Structure formats: C-alpha cells, structure tokens
Chain A
C-alpha cells in the first residue's frame, strides 16, 4: 500500500523532469546542416569583456548556422574575469578590451595569441535642451568629468561652441558604478590626450568626484543621461544609439572635430600602430577622420589545444570572425578591422596547431 502511494507522486514528477531535460535537447537538434559544414562536434567556452558581447552574440548565432556541430558559449563577466579564467584554463578563449598587465597571472609566454576582432567608438553623450552638435576637446572633457567645470555656460565650453546658446544648467556627470573596460579606455584616452588636466588615472576603476552619478552598465549611464537635463556621460556607441542620445563631436589629434560612427572608428584603427602581437591602441589616433575615443577589443586563444576537434573549431570560429564576422560588425554598431590587419590576424590563426 505504502509503496504504490509513493509511486503515485514519483511517476508524474519523473515524467516532468524528463520533459524538462529532453525539450532543449530536442529543440537544439532540429534544423538541417548546411552543405559546407565541415567541423566535428566541439564546444568552445569563453568569457570576458561585455563591450564586445553584442558582437560576439551576433557572430555566434551566425556561426551556429554555418557549423551546427560546434557550440560556442560566451559568458561575459568582464575583461578582468575573462583574462583570469583564461590564465586558469577554465575557458578555451576569452574576450578582453585590455591587455594583461605584467603582474597579472597569465599563461606561459608564446603559448597564446591576441586576436583583434572589432573596434567600437565610446560616445560622450549629453542631454542639453536646445543645444545640438556640441563640440568638446580633451582638456574640456577632462575638466567636466573631474567636476572642475560645473555649469554648461562655462567659458571653456563656450569658447569651443561660439554659436551655441549654452544655458546655465549645472552639469550632471554620469559614470559607471561598476568596474568596466569602457571606463578603462575612456580614462586612458583622457590620460593620454589631456595629461596636464586629467588626474584620476586610466583604469577600469576610477575614483570619481563625490557629486557625480553612477549607473549600472552602459544602459544605466545612458538612462541617467536621457532622464536628466544637463547630464553628460560616456556610453558605448550601440547603447547610446539605442537610447537616442546626442553625441558630442570630439577634437582629435589632427585638430578636427569628429562625431562617433563606424567610419570614424575605422579611421582610428587605420591610424594606429599595430604591434607584432597584433595589439594596438586606437585611442587618440592621429588620422584626420579618426574618432579619438575608439576602443579596441581582442579574443585571446591558445596556440595548442589538447583536443584536436577543439583546435579545429577554434580556428574555424576565428576565420569566421575574419570573414562573415567583419561583414556583420557594422549592423551591430561595431567597426570592422582594416584589411591588412585582418590579413595579419588570419596568418596568426594558421599558427594554432591542429596536430593535437
């Protein structure tokens, strides 16, 4: 008697559990494989930069259709986490906006590569009634974000914008509440382009002045700028576009005022010096059409993988990024890389050993 009553609740719950487990497996295996798919089944786990996450998700989706046997997972979590996970061997690849510092734990030299993927502009977005086409230079931007310029009609801003009707609204500075690669590249730009004015350093965590606003994520900062008259903040290009914010034109190294866009980010990468290990800094780039706050981003991958299928899948994924991926990039508001950099990167992909 007791046994049958126990079975009575056991059976439906076992069926429910089986259904919950089976459904995603069934859904995943639906769909026909394209004729050109060649890679054997493998899983590539990655983590790291959230700046490149929108691009990675678009590429992963397209790659899944081309090579259904390979599963690519990207966990995000921040560039620092990605670099740490890669050094610990927890993931097969990582996304990062910044390079390993000498003091960081990293895998042995020569066993891994930096692969640049795309670049993206970081906008200086603002919300000021009746002012369109605001022009700023590095020194003024530095002073604004250090709360040394406190109202919009300050002489320094008026000097750069003689035709604009600047109100006396107080400036509300918006920045990131959490550590971020976007903060790192924005502050590195100010440290490089306004060295005598900018004192807060160039890092993913910065001690902002006390009377500033903190937002969670790029969308949080965008939301503060959107809802506060007189607000200014640094937001990555795709989130700023999504929130409908106005971007300031920044004076680049060549003295021209440039608005953030996919084209001006490409010009910034064109003007940057590429190191032999394919790292570069497009910040404060010398090109005439370059947007000075362009953020680079890389994928880090091993030279040797113990599993041959994983090595082949990694090469296939990287080659996909340098082919279809570069074409997808502008549609998700990232700048594709210049052609010779793509050629160098493809040559580096060949160095990943597939012998196992």
Chain B
C-alpha cells in the first residue's frame, strides 16, 4: 500500500484590502519620504537664506562701488573699499597651499595604498586624519608663536641667495621681520588641507581595480610605471575633485590665516612679505566697522560664497570632462 503524502496545508487566501484600509507599513514609508524631503529642502532653504541675507546687508557696498569693488584700493579712512588686493591674496595663499599639499597628499595616498605593508596602513591613515582634527585657531597660534619666528632665518637665506636673479628676486623679496607672510600662511594652510585631500585621493586609489594594475604588472611594468599607467589615469577625476575640495577649504580658511599672514593689504609679488586675504580681514575689522565698511566686509563674505560655488561648479565640469574623455578612450 502506497503511503499517502500528508495533505498539504491550504494556501493562505490573499488578504484583500477592504475600501479605505491602507497597506501595512505605508505610514512609516510615507513619513520617511517626507522627512527626507524636508531635510533636503531645509538645506537648500538655509543656503538660500544665507545668500539672500548677506547680499542684502552688503548691498550698500555693491551699490556705492559698483565694479570698483575689484579695484585695489582698500582704504576705509578715505572711503575707498576696493578688494582687488584681498582677492589676489586669497588666491595666492591658496595656490601656495595647493602646490605644497597636493604632491604630499598624492605621495601619502600612494604610500598607503601601494607600498606600505597592510599592518602600517591603519596607523598612518589615523595619524593623517588626526591632523584634520586640530582646530584652526591652534594652527594659527602655533604658526604665530613657533613656526613664523623659526622660518624667518630660512626666508632670509632664500631671499639673499636669489637677490640678483631678475624674476625670482621679486617673488622671494625682503622677508617680513616676524615671518608673517603669504608664504607662512600658505604653508600652514597646506598642512591643514593635506588630510582632506589625502583621504579622498586614498579612497579613489583604493577603488582602482586590481585587474588593471595586475595587467600592467604582467606586461612587465615596474611599480612606478604601473602606478603612472594604471592608477593615475583611472583616478584622474577623483584626484581633481579632491584638489578642488582642498582649494575650497583653503579659500575659506579664516583664523589661521588672520594670525600669520601679516595684515597688510597690498598687491605684492613678494610671497615672503606680509599680505592679507578676504577671509582673514573680516574678523580683524568687523568689530569696529560701521556703514559702508561693514557692508564691504559682509560683501567679502558674499564674494567668498560665490567663489566657493564657482570652484564647486568648475570641479564638477572638469570631473565630467575627464570622465567623458576616459570613457571615450576605453
């Protein structure tokens, strides 16, 4: 006699929703959607409010100076409020910082991803990230009290050694006595932006597919040739993005620069001499400012805001273009 299989339990009949009854879990789902939407909109709203209120406060300056805001004549005592020299100073300090920080960051990232034994990777990454945790004002004070007095002797040596070479002697001219200069500010900002650039570039290098690297090595490339041929091209857009983020941070750096840049509003090629930047001058002059000077200082904030936006848009454009070129080459 064949054993009968036990009767299958009846399939559960599908629950039909009666009219007006919501499917289970929909309340939480909708709540999540609206909360996320609200959070995103709130960020946009805050950004728009900041842009509106600062432009509103700065309007008297824009109206009074017009395009003269870009002139190089910042002299509140004589009612002149052109910030050309400050814009120049901001970009000079950022340029010095990038020139110093980017090679170092790429080096650290390469070392961590390609060369260091796996055991060393985490401690090195941890120490580099620790640099990012140091407050900006501490960098400024260290620069003011320790670094600037120490580096003056080296500035003097550099300045003396190039004093007879035509172009170099105006770039490395007479150093400021206390060491407070564009160069000092640039070096300190370079130290501050290195951790950010390093961590982004490190992530980008880590995502380079092993197959690409192994293919290069299999064809007989040395390690450096492999890095140059496989890792760099793959990571080009990410590297550009990292550099732009570092530039954005450098442009906005305030207190560290205010303490060590020398507080001298001048458009000078001498990077060893004192200068001033847009972000550095705002905290120094705001307390006593009134009328058009106050509007001008707030206006400098607007200029920085716009500059950071432009840098961000430029970064996205460059990234998109290199991505397209890479896709075309592939």
Contact = CB atoms under 8 A, between A and B. Distances in A.
Contact of B290 (A104, A202, A207): A104
Contact of A203 (B77, B262, B286): B77
B294 A80 contact: yes
A80 B287 contact: yes
A201 interface: yes
A213 B288 contact: no
A213 B289 CA distance: 21
Contacts of B214: none
Interface string B172-197: 00101110100000000000000000
B268 to A, nearest CB: 7
Given A205-B77, A207-B75, A213-B178, A181 B266 contact: no
B263 A214 contact: yes
A214 to B, nearest CB: 4
B262 A206 contact: no
Nearest to B60: A103
Nearest to A201: B77
Interface stretch (A152-160, A172-180, A244-252, A348-356): A172-180
A78 B287 contact: yes
B314 interface: no
A172 B177 contact: yes
A200 interface: yes
Nearest to B76: A205
A104 B289 CA distance: 10
Contacts of A83: 290
A285 to B, nearest CB: 23
Given A206-B77, A210-B273, A212-B264, A80 B290 contact: yes
A2 interface: no
Interface in B280-329: 283-294
A335 B261 CA distance: 36
Given A79-B288, A187-B77, A84 B264 contact: no
Contacts, number: 87
Contacts of A104: 290-291
Contact of B285 (A181, A205, A211): A205
Contacts of A273: none
A84 B290 CA distance: 7
Contacts of A201: 75, 77-78
B74 A207 contact: yes
A179 B291 contact: no
Contacts of A187: 77
B288 A81 contact: yes
Contacts of B273: 210
Contacts of A210: 264, 266, 268, 273-274
A75 to B, nearest CB: 11
Contacts of B283: 178
A224 B176 CA distance: 13
A77 interface: yes
Nearest to A172: B177
A224 B178 contact: yes
A204 interface: yes
Contacts of B291: 101, 103-104
Interface residues of B, number: 32
A29 B87 CA distance: 52
A204 B274 contact: no
A298 B307 CA distance: 41
B77 to A, nearest CB: 3
Interface string A215-241: 010000000100010000000000000
A83 B290 CA distance: 8
Contacts of B109: none
A133 to B, nearest CB: 26
A180 B74 CA distance: 16
Interface in A51-89: 77-81, 83-84
Nearest to A83: B290
A205 B177 contact: no
A179 B78 contact: no
B146 to A, nearest CB: 15
Contacts of A139: none
A202 B266 CA distance: 20
- Residue with the greatest number of chain A CB neighbours at <10 A, chosen from B76, B263, B288: B288
Contacts of A178: 263, 283-285, 287-288
Contacts of B76: 179, 203-206
Contacts of B74: 207
Nearest to A106: B290
Nearest to A50: B287
B271 interface: no
B265 interface: yes
B259 interface: yes
A208 interface: yes
Nearest to B280: A177
Nearest to B180: A214
A181 B274 contact: no
A208 B288 CA distance: 17
Nearest to A204: B288
A216 B259 contact: yes
B264 A77 contact: no
Contacts of A180: 288
Contacts of B289: 80, 179, 204-205
- Residue with the greatest number of chain B CB neighbours at <10 A, chosen from A172, A179, A216: A179
Given A178-B283, A207-B265, 8 more contacts: A80-B290, A84-B290, A179-B286, A205-B293, A210-B273, A214-B180, A214-B263, A214-B274
23 contacts: A77-B287, A78-B288, A79-B288, A80-B286, A101-B290, A104-B291, A178-B283, A178-B285, A178-B287, A178-B288, A179-B285, A179-B286, A180-B288, A181-B288, A204-B289, A205-B76, A205-B285, A206-B77, A207-B75, A210-B268, A210-B273, A214-B180, A216-B259
Interface of B: 74-78, 174, 176-178, 180, 258-259, 262-266, 268, 273-274, 283-294
What are the 6 closest A-B residue pairs judged by CB atoms, nearest first?
Answer: A78-B287, A201-B77, A179-B288, A203-B77, A178-B284, A177-B263
Interface of A: 50, 77-81, 83-84, 101, 103-104, 172, 177-181, 184, 187, 200-208, 210-214, 216, 224, 228
